[in-house]
Amino acid sequence: MSLIETVWSPAQRPSAYLDPGSGSFILQLIIASLVGGLFALKLYWKKVRSFLRSALRRKDNEDQG
């Protein structure tokens, strides 16, 4: 019975908020994700470029053939 009362009781007003520390942490996560993604792209740039070139060449060959 106690479980049912707990589930069906009116919800209390939540006391959640975002303080400046949380906003700063979220901003750091966004910046770190962007910088990390750019760094990974820099590391694998030659592989990505050659993959895209071969994919485009393959498409051109299929269109001509």
Q: Is 42 exposed, middle or buried (0-12, 13-18, 19+ CB in 10 A)?
A: exposed
Amino acid at 26: I
Task: State the Cα–Cα distance between residues 47 and 7, nearest whole angstrom.
Answer: 55
* Domain assignments of the chain as residue spans, ordered by start: 36-65
pTM here is: 0.50
Measured in whole angstroms, the distance separating CA 43 from the mean position of its chain's CA atoms is 19
Residues 20-65 have pLDDT tens digits of: 788 899 999 999 999 999 999 899 999 989 998 998 888 777 766 5
On the question of pLDDT at 2 being above 90, the answer is: no
